[in-house]
């Protein structure tokens, strides 16, 4: 079936991929324009308020050299409001990282839940440092910014989804650009994977980082966000060939679109908000083909790691 090789240039589809070290990065405003304009489902309704909280302090990027900080710390603005997925895509765009990997990273760190509180400690001094009493959580937000390491990030890391994502990706970019010589002799620029491991463990490819990367790889295969994300037009929490069929039926006008789940009439409706998988503002046969490709484990912009 020739249609199954349907692909389009990544740029045309708006998929954000990693930009090489030294690349010019787009502004937050440019990225905001690219990730909004389409009504998207909020996968994590409990994030909604924090997703609307913008702005935050200007802080140093922990571990980055003064030159990098001088050039980039002002970019940490948290100046974007949207759905959880839109905020992740905004961050991927702004800091030049692969959005699929970032989805997986955020899932490993927090299951995309802003209220995730990690690295619980009983240490009095550590907790006192952030104004808490034991036991206290050190890490917060979608990407789990660790308060005692990344000075000045707490409590904003608990309050603004966009600000926490912005900071964590600024740190990742500093690592990726080669600013973290303290990571040792094997460290060098251009290794996104190494930097993701270092965010978790603080070391360059140590055992903890490698274990973390194994989990990250597993999530990239499973794509748990995809299973409950856009594409599930029949509202059964899976994206599969049935959804493709529903979209075809919608395209030939034998099915009616409704906004959201559950469907009042499973036999006659589809969730139109979930149908535009290629983000061209239309729900049509192209979306059905993309969903079908994913179901057949063929990569495309919607499921780059099927």
> Which residues would be at the binding site for Ca ion (CB under 5 A)?
232, 234, 236, 238, 243, 276, 278, 280, 282, 287
Is the Cβ of residue 89 or residue 140 nearer to Ca ion in the bound state?
A: 89
Least separation, in Å, of the C-beta of 103 and Ca ion?
Answer: 19
Is the Cβ of residue 50 or residue 303 nearer to Ca ion in the bound state?
A: 303
Least separation, in Å, of the C-beta of 263 and Ca ion?
Answer: 11
Is the Cβ of residue 242 or residue 298 nearer to Ca ion in the bound state?
A: 242
Pairing of strands 269-271, 256-258: parallel
Least separation, in Å, of the C-beta of 271 and Ca ion?
Answer: 9
* Gap between the Cα atoms of 121 and 273, Å rounded: 42
* CA distances, 133 to each of 17, 117, 126, 137 (Å): 41, 14, 9, 10
Pair 247, 283: CB distance under 8 Å: yes
Least separation, in Å, of the C-beta of 277 and Ca ion?
Answer: 6
Is the Cβ of residue 195 or residue 263 nearer to Ca ion in the bound state?
A: 263
| Cα dihedral sign, 195-197-199-201 | negative
Is the Cβ of residue 18 or residue 238 nearer to Ca ion in the bound state?
A: 238
Pair 167, 59: CB distance under 8 Å: yes
Give the side-chain half-sphere CA count within 13 A for 277: 31
Least separation, in Å, of the C-beta of 261 and Ca ion?
Answer: 10
* Gap between the Cα atoms of 286 and 205, Å rounded: 41
Least separation, in Å, of the C-beta of 281 and Ca ion?
Answer: 7
Is the Cβ of residue 165 or residue 289 nearer to Ca ion in the bound state?
A: 289
Least separation, in Å, of the C-beta of 80 and Ca ion?
Answer: 23
The encoded tokens of residue 115 equal 């209220």
Least separation, in Å, of the C-beta of 279 and Ca ion?
Answer: 7
Pair 154, 56: CB distance under 8 Å: no
Phi, psi of 271 (to 5 degrees): -80, 100
Is the Cβ of residue 10 or residue 120 nearer to Ca ion in the bound state?
A: 10
Phi, psi of 5 (to 5 degrees): -95, 10
| Cα dihedral sign, 104-107-110-115 | positive
| DSSP-assigned letter for residue 150 | S
What's the length of the chain? 306
Is the Cβ of residue 217 or residue 236 nearer to Ca ion in the bound state?
A: 236
**E strand or H helix that includes residue 30:** helix 28-35
């Amino acid at each position: 079936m020739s249609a199954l090789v349907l692909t389009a240039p990544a740029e045309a589809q708006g998929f954000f991929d990693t930009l090489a070290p030294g690349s010019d990065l787009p502004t937050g405003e440019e990225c905001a324009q690219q990730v909004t304009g389409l009504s998207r489902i909020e996968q994590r309704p409990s994030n909604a308020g924090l997703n609307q909280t913008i702005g935050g302090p200007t802080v140093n990027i922990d571990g980055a050299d003064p030159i990098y900080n001088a050039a980039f710390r002002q970019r940490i603005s948290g100046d974007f409001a949207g759905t959880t997925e839109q905020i992740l895509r905004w961050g991927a765009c702004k800091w030049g990282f692969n959005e699929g990997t970032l989805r997986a990273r955020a899932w490993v760190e927090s299951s995309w839940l802003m209220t995730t509180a990690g690295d619980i400690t009983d240490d009095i001094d550590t907790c006192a440092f952030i104004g808490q009493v034991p036991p206290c959580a050190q890490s917060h937000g979608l990407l789990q910014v660790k308060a005692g390491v990344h000075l000045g990030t707490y409590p904003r890391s608990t309050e603004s989804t966009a600000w926490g994502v912005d900071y964590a990706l600024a740190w990742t970019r500093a690592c990726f650009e080669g600013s973290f010589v303290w990571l040792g002799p094997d460290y060098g620029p251009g290794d996104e994977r190494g930097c993701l491991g270092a965010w978790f463990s603080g070391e360059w490819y140590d055992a903890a980082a490698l274990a973390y990367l194994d989990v990250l790889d597993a999530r990239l295969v499973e794509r748990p966000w995809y299973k409950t994300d856009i594409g599930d037009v029949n509202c059964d929490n899976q994206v599969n060939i049935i959804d493709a069929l529903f979209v075809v039926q919608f395209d030939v006008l034998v099915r009616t679109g409704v906004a959201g789940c559950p469907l009042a009439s499973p036999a006659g409706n589809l969730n139109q908000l979930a149908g535009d998988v290629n983000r061209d503002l239309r729900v049509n046969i192209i979306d059905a083909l993309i969903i079908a490709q994913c179901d057949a484990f063929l990569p495309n912009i919607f499921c780059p790691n099927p």
